[in-house]
Structure 1
């Protein structure tokens, strides 16, 4: 499906409006419906309550990555014009557009709650610490708005997850026609996400790829250090095997697609962010099969 999205984009099927529309359909319509349907149809209240405390494992991993990224930025003299952006991209990953479809394709629907746990932690870190760091690179006065951060964190996908969780906890059964609608709309999530990845790769183009020091350090952080940290943290736990595999896979996802948007908004180095989104997304095609061979 990724290859199909890439091929169609190369043939001129999509323009900027098309990619924006697909992104909005996934994040604001399909994915929230997918969350509600999956949570309410496949999990009990006891199962979900047991999983929520496991937020601490991705949180610990991200805090360690954050600290390490700051040290690496100093030791390797990362360009000061995008040092905050570097740190943000080093410890945050794309857990929805890339992480969700890949986990669902490999592990099935049983992996979705674990994907969402990691997503909750990741999106909180990005829209607070990550965004603050990116602002520091820009040409505007650094401001931290709790209201704006909360608005970004409680995005439609997370609200869909929370609604599904509430329905399960309250033992509320949705009517059949509504379940059917949620199923149809939710089933758009994976194919549209895959097409969007192919479209994004085509739009970015291979010509932008360049392997300079700062770029290589991000690749090292995303695909080697981050999953290694997660493996080490999980090695001393008795979590379910599937949860461990999902967390490890999520930790090795590419750079957040929101990074260039936020960088441009605050006058930071958005070109650098766009290049890193492209490079890490392309490398995911190679890294994920290798990673799954190792952890399986």
Structure 2
């Protein structure tokens, strides 16, 4: 626990740097877009490719199947929970889709990699990459469907050609085949990929810095922002506890458990802007969960500590 808290404090300090440089206008209003593009298209694919440049084994294949099963299970339950919470809400139509998305989709691609790498190192990144396969496909299909309610709006080509799915597919091919990347290329991917962790936390800090004083009353009064955050950060990961009854290695279950409790995905703000959802509601939902995760992630790890 002591080591975990130290690692988390380091991540939060990096996030504070992002907050400071955004508030002092060292970085401008385009910061979040630039950082998102840099992580999504360059550093994260490099990290995924490097992490999957490992020797194939039957044990790893079993781990892969467990992670895909847990991912599909938790996302399916999250969808049912989000539908139930949306129907019970009294939100307008442009907020209801956002509300569902905030509950279902977590920030697994940015802060998820930062947290898992800090705790489990490169082995954790391998597990998280496998765990994220179902997530990447779902956020590009069902995530868009939430806002459009129309499968025609889903750009199927982008599902398989987006950087997350593409780099994971290429990485899995290298993993399954008896070949490995050249040492120089692997070292380059490692250097570039590990930038994902600090850049992700700077992005989180910058997102938090975007809130203005006029937004605070709405943020504090809107109960649905807090409900979505509590569901995403605490209730959903607890739904994975039945898997603790199986003989799953600690690191394997811990990756799934912690990542299931990541804050809401910033992608929901982008979808809201593109497909006519309430952008402010989406941005504040991401903000609330991103702030609260500083308390919820240590709590989830403490629960893991008690279980194992």
User: Does structure 1 residue 218 correspond to structure 2 residue 225?
Assistant: no
Residue 280 of structure 1, CA deviation: 0.7
Please identify, of 15-24 and 97-106, the stretch whose mean Cα deviation from structure 2 is larger. 15-24
Q: Which runs of 5+ in 2 are unaligned?
A: 1-13
TM-score, reference length from structure 1: 0.89
Partner of 2:158: 151
Which of 11, 36, 44 matches 2:56?
44
Q: CA deviation at 1:135?
A: 1.9
Contact 1:135–1:268 (8 Å) recurs in 2: no
Give 1:70-219 correspondences, 5 Å limit.
Answer: 70-136=83-149, 142-145=150-153, 148-152=155-159, 154-205=161-212, 208-209=215-216, 210-211=219-220, 212-219=222-229
Is the CA contact 1:91–1:221 (under 8 Å) kept in the aligned structure 2?
no
Q: Which runs of 5+ in 1 are unaligned?
A: 137-141
Whether contact under 8 Å (1:58, 1:230) holds in the other structure is no
User: Does the 8 Å contact 2:63/2:252 carry over to 1?
Assistant: no
Matches within 5 A, 1:276-287: 276-287=285-296
Give, in whole Å, the separation in 1 of the partners of 2:45 and 2:84: 38
Two-structure CA RMSD over aligned residues (Å): 2.0
Q: Cα distance, 1:145 vs. partner? A: 4.3
Cα deviation digits, residues 19-49 of structure 1 (max 9, x gap): 32222221111111111112114x4343442
Alpha carbons of structure 1 residues 158 and 205: separation in structure 2 relative to 1, 3 Å: farther
The separation in 1 between residues aligned to 2:130 and 2:213, in whole angstroms, is 33
- Bigger drift between 95-104 and 158-167 goes to 158-167
Contact kept? 1:92, 1:125, Cα under 8 Å:
no
Task: Describe the shift of the 1:224–1:153 C-alpha distance in structure 2 as closer, same or farther (beyond 3 A).
Answer: farther
* Superposition pairs of residues 247-262 of structure 1, within 5 angstroms: 247-262=256-271
Measured in 1, the distance between the counterparts of 2:23 and 2:276 equals: 30
Change (3 A) 1:50 1:203: same
Q: 1:214 to 1:239 in 2, by over 3 A?
A: same
Judging changes above 3 Å, is the alpha-carbon distance between structure 1 residues 30 and 115 closer, same or farther for their aligned structure 2 residues? same
